[in-house]
Amino acid sequence: MSSQSLHTSQAVSAPEKEFWCRDLVSICDLSPQELKAVMDLAGLMKARPWDFRGALAGKQMAMFFEKPSLRTRLTFEAGMASLGGVSFFVDQTQSRIDARESLSDIARNLERWVDVVVLRTFDHSTVATMAEHACIPVINALSELEHPCQALADYFTLQERFGDLRNIRLAFVGDGNNVAHSLLLACACLGSSIRIATPPGYEPSARVIADAQVIAHETGAIVEVCSDPYTAVSGADAVYTDVWTSMGQEHEAASRASVFEPYQVNQELMSEAAPNAVFMHCLPAHRGQEVTDSVIDSSRSIVFDQAEGRMHVQKAILLLLLGGGMNRLPIRSVHA
């Protein structure tokens, strides 16, 4: 986002100014305090949705998706509608966003028309470049590097289930890419604990691990990466997996299926976790591959709570970035 915002900030309250007109390209765009503020607001919006109706009236959101989506698209669209705003979806699955013109030119158009842009892209640099050139908030709805909205919703769901996140450990078993990266960074911000097990060659990016460790040093989080799924899951409070073959990697599906087979989350692996451990998945799930039916359909599974959390968290993100309503918060009634 350039410093030459089209918006005027005179009417916004102090809390709004901290978020107002910022981008969410990476979890690293939020300080640990800001990440907690997003989750707190999401909790308030979930508890009192009627207090936020109309909070983004007159606001417009454009969404450009180069990859398919069920949850991310619909939770953004339904969330925006519930706040009184409108959204425009542009299907970019047949061509990359910048196939016709440069990203900087697209950014300079969009900022004249709409209030926020949401992007799902193959290259993280597409989201980053849009954010650099557009003077309106740009939100990453999944790139190959990160899925920040997902990780925020996942930790929101874990907080609902367990309370203090500093007392739990998440085990992530599978591919160390976008979802694992954002979970690592969110865990670090929240002072929680995470142990990631990936096959050799599929570890999280060294840069993301280093960033998470720097944040963890500040927050007291514990961030560990290993290759043994049983080591990761042993005693864990939550066991998380993601698809073995992410969108855009379909040509690698066969080779990945054999590499990742020992990382399947099944009842045997779940039995190593803490007695009250939950199962998590960002979805869509490839049943019979990274997770068995007996685990994802069990009473331990909270995958649909996660999916619901996407809506509450993204509404909070939109409200904070668009400056549409901190002054509408029912502060007195909430604390009454």
Binding interface with ligand NVA (CB under 6 A): 142, 177-179, 242-243, 246-247, 282
Coil, strand, or helix at residue 187? helix
CA distance 137 to 114: 10
**Considering the complex, what minimum distance in angstroms separates the CB of residue 268 from ligand CP?**
26
Binding-site partner at residue 243 among ligand NVA, ligand CP, none, CB < 5 to 8 Å by type: ligand NVA
Task: Please say if 150 is a catalytic residue.
Answer: yes
Task: Please say if 94 is a catalytic residue.
Answer: no
Closer to ligand NVA by Cβ: residue 177 or 198? 177
**Considering the complex, what minimum distance in angstroms separates the CB of residue 256 from ligand CP?**
18
Closer to ligand CP by Cβ: residue 69 or 264? 69
The residue at minimum Cβ distance from ligand CP is: 72
CA distance 127 to 103: 9
- C-alpha torsion sign, points 304, 306, 312, 318: negative
- Burial tier of 66 (Cβ tally within 10 Å: 0-12, 13-18, 19+): buried
Per annotation, catalytic residue among 71, 169, 181, 310: 310
Closer to ligand CP by Cβ: residue 44 or 140? 140
**Considering the complex, what minimum distance in angstroms separates the CB of residue 334 from ligand CP?**
30
CA distance 68 to 66: 7
Per annotation, catalytic residue among 133, 147, 195, 312: 147
Closer to ligand NVA by Cβ: residue 69 or 87? 69
**Considering the complex, what minimum distance in angstroms separates the CB of residue 123 from ligand CP?**
17
Binding-site partner at residue 177 among ligand NVA, ligand CP, none, CB < 5 to 8 Å by type: ligand NVA
Binding-site partner at residue 178 among ligand NVA, ligand CP, none, CB < 5 to 8 Å by type: ligand NVA
Task: Please say if 147 is a catalytic residue.
Answer: yes
CA distance 168 to 221: 11
Task: Please say if 195 is a catalytic residue.
Answer: no
Q: Is 175 left (phi over 0), alpha (psi -120 to 50) or beta?
A: beta
Per annotation, catalytic residue among 92, 150, 159, 264: 150
Contacts of 55 (CB under 8 A, 6+ apart): 83, 84, 319, 324, 325, 328
Task: Please say if 135 is a catalytic residue.
Answer: no
For ligand CP, the binding residues (CB under 6 A) are 69-72, 142, 150, 282-284
| Strand (E) or helix (H) holding 116 | strand 116-120
Closer to ligand CP by Cβ: residue 169 or 281? 281
Helices marked H in the chain: 14-19, 32-47, 71-82, 103-113, 124-133, 148-162, 178-190, 206-219, 229-233, 253-260, 267-270, 293-296, 303-322, 331-335
**Considering the complex, what minimum distance in angstroms separates the CB of residue 229 from ligand NVA?**
17
CA distance 271 to 196: 17
**Considering the complex, what minimum distance in angstroms separates the CB of residue 165 from ligand CP?**
20
Per annotation, catalytic residue among 149, 159, 282, 312: 282
Binding-site partner at residue 226 among ligand NVA, ligand CP, none, CB < 5 to 8 Å by type: none
Answer whether the bond into residue 275 is a cis peptide, omega within 30°.
no
Contacts of 133 (CB under 8 A, 6+ apart): 2, 103, 104, 107, 108
Binding-site partner at residue 246 among ligand CP, ligand NVA, none, CB < 5 to 8 Å by type: ligand NVA
Closer to ligand CP by Cβ: residue 70 or 90? 70
Binding-site partner at residue 70 among ligand CP, ligand NVA, none, CB < 5 to 8 Å by type: ligand CP
| DSSP type of residue 28 | G
The partner residues of 193 in beta bridges, in order of sequence, read 169, 222
User: Which residues are tagged catalytic?
Assistant: 120, 147, 150, 242, 282, 310
